[in-house]
Structure 1
Amino acid sequence: MSTKRRWAAAVVTAAAAGTISAVAMGQSDDIRITVTAKVTPNKAGTPAHPQGVKVDVKGKIYTPPDQDPPTVEAVDIWFPKGGLYNGGKWPTCSQAKLARGGPDACPKTSIMGRGYALADADGVAAKATVTIVNGGSRAVFAYVTLNRPARVREALRVPITKLGSGPWSYKAHVDIPRTLQIVAGIPLRVQSFRGSGGRGDWIATTSCPSSHRWKYHVETSYATGQVVKTDGSVACRS
């Protein structure tokens, strides 16, 4: 029997919007960000009849032009009770295979979503694309591709941890490698991002709380030691 974990929308957001979008999810006195998330359908399923969903995330980030872009080292995302992650039921791809051959080397049915981020690298327009790949019941992989200002390919592992108590059902964690923080000696200034993910019942909902909002919590850790906390929610109905 496959292991079921709740609300894997994390990874798409991972995911969605995967890793690069997660890098941008932070706020401080100097950084302004707007994020919009959507779950389709937003009518929740039940424990007996989970509802498979697709998750879409988009956002914009403003960093003062006279300020060096902040360097993000890690992102942690907490998701609420109210869904299931069925990664154990779907075809998987290993991190080693993904790193060697990219998403084309993986089963097509293991590809669960895609995203991208637009950035400025000291006046050079840069676009990073992210492919979300099923890694089984305990992890998802984000394959990041960047061609400017230098060619970078990274297969990142995003562990999914089930939480036994409190308001959250699980936690997703992603470490941002140095190769995606500073490229060719230039810090990337992420300006916008977008991503979507979901296939069949890979992500499924089982309930909608009385508030009619699925809440999430994000903590972004910077190289300066600062941890920026962000809270948001997505509308739902029973």
Structure 2
Amino acid sequence: MPKHLVAAVGVVAACALGTGSAEAATLDAKVAVTPNTGGSARHPQGHRVTVDASVVVPEGEFPPTLTGVELWYGPGLEFHRDGVPTCSPRVLSQGGPTACPPRSQVGQTGGGGIEPDDPVEAQPKFHLFNAPGGRMTIYATLQHPARVRAVMPGTVIDGARGAWPHRDAWTFPVTLQNVAQMPVTIGRLRFSFGGTRAAPHYVASTSCPPGGWPWRMRVHAGATVLVADGRAPCRR
């Protein structure tokens, strides 16, 4: 059966009365690091990381309801989050983004269009904040089919041994999995972080490995995990 890419530009969600199947889905992901010039241990280079991932399903099916997402980074990229203003998940939950120090926002994304035949449109917007403990928290807003605001605290593994020394992870709260008694199916995730004026070295490189900076993305749909691997091109 031919496959169909269910999404357009942005973080896009389509709500349907039935959930999509995760078993037949695959993950098509790209991670770009700009600028692509690698730094050194003495002179780290600050970067902006842009993630663009689509859940690909057979034609006529909706993407599955997502429950979480992880980003793993290989050697060569480091995270310098000390000294960057922070905003806690509690502050975000109580007052929203305007309650946070402006310089604590380190990333964002916007909504976009979806397939015209989808029965109900839902277009969440994400804002990423530096949180205590070297974590990134996502503040998500959804306007349709109902107004929803949700905070997604991040978890982080930094300095681990092995091929993936740094890992970020977020769990989608139930309020973003089911809205107005309908399951939310997200077809595409697109967001960026780092490289801000307030935190130019939030993400920085100390080397340019042969073949580029390795990355891995894991998207959770219940018990199913969709995985994509790649390398972000770099030059010395």
TM range (shorter): 0.7 to 0.9
Partner secondary structure for residue 82 of structure 2? helix
Counterpart CA distance in 2 for 1:193 and 1:221 is 13
Q: How many residues align?
A: 213
| Cα distance, 1:117 vs structure 2 | 4.7
* Partner of residue 134 from structure 1, selected from 120, 130, 137: 130
Residue by residue over 1:130-149, the C-alpha shift from the partner in whole angstroms, topping out at 9 and shown as x without a partner, is: 00101144311100000101
- Structure-2 change in CA distance of 1:175 and 1:98 (3 Å): same
Residue by residue over 1:95-150, the C-alpha shift from the partner in whole angstroms, topping out at 9 and shown as x without a partner, is: 11111111111111101111135567961221100001011443111000001011
TM-score, normalising length: structure 1: 0.79
Residue number in structure 2 paired with 1:144: 140
Residue number in structure 2 paired with 1:77: 71
| Cα distance, 1:210 vs structure 2 | 2.0
TM-score, normalising length: structure 2: 0.80
- Structure-2 change in CA distance of 1:37 and 1:218 (3 Å): closer
Residue number in structure 1 paired with 2:209: 209
Residue number in structure 1 paired with 2:221: 222
- Structure-2 change in CA distance of 1:77 and 1:195 (3 Å): closer
Quick check: 2:22–2:64 contact (8 Å CA) kept in 1?
no
Counterpart CA distance in 2 for 1:193 and 1:74 is 11
Residue by residue over 1:48-96, the C-alpha shift from the partner in whole angstroms, topping out at 9 and shown as x without a partner, is: 1111111223344443464454122222322111122111121111111
Residue number in structure 1 paired with 2:41: 47
Residue number in structure 1 paired with 2:86: 92
Percent of residue pairs bearing the same amino acid type: 31
Question: Which contiguous aligned blocks of 4+ residues in structure 1 show a shift greater than 4 angstroms?
Answer: 117-122
Quick check: 1:69–1:187 contact (8 Å CA) kept in 2?
no
Quick check: 2:73–2:164 contact (8 Å CA) kept in 1?
yes
Counterpart CA distance in 1 for 2:186 and 2:143 is 15
5+ long unaligned stretches in structure 2:
1-9, 13-20
Counterpart CA distance in 2 for 1:162 and 1:60 is 26
Partner secondary structure for residue 175 of structure 2? helix
Report which of the two has the higher share of helix. 1
Amino acid paired to 1:180: L
Amino acid paired to 1:217: R
> Comparing 34-43 with 113-122, which one deviates more in the overlay?
113-122
Quick check: 1:113–1:131 contact (8 Å CA) kept in 2?
yes
Quick check: 1:138–1:161 contact (8 Å CA) kept in 2?
no
Amino acid paired to 2:37: K
Equivalent residues in 2 for 1:1-238 (5 A)?
Answer: 30-64=24-58, 66-67=60-61, 69-118=63-112, 123-198=119-194, 199=196, 200-211=200-211, 213-223=212-222, 225-238=223-236
Quick check: 1:145–1:152 contact (8 Å CA) kept in 2?
yes
Q: CA RMSD in A?
A: 2.5
- Structure-2 change in CA distance of 1:187 and 1:174 (3 Å): same
Amino acid paired to 1:203: V
> Comparing 33-42 with 202-211, which one deviates more in the overlay?
33-42
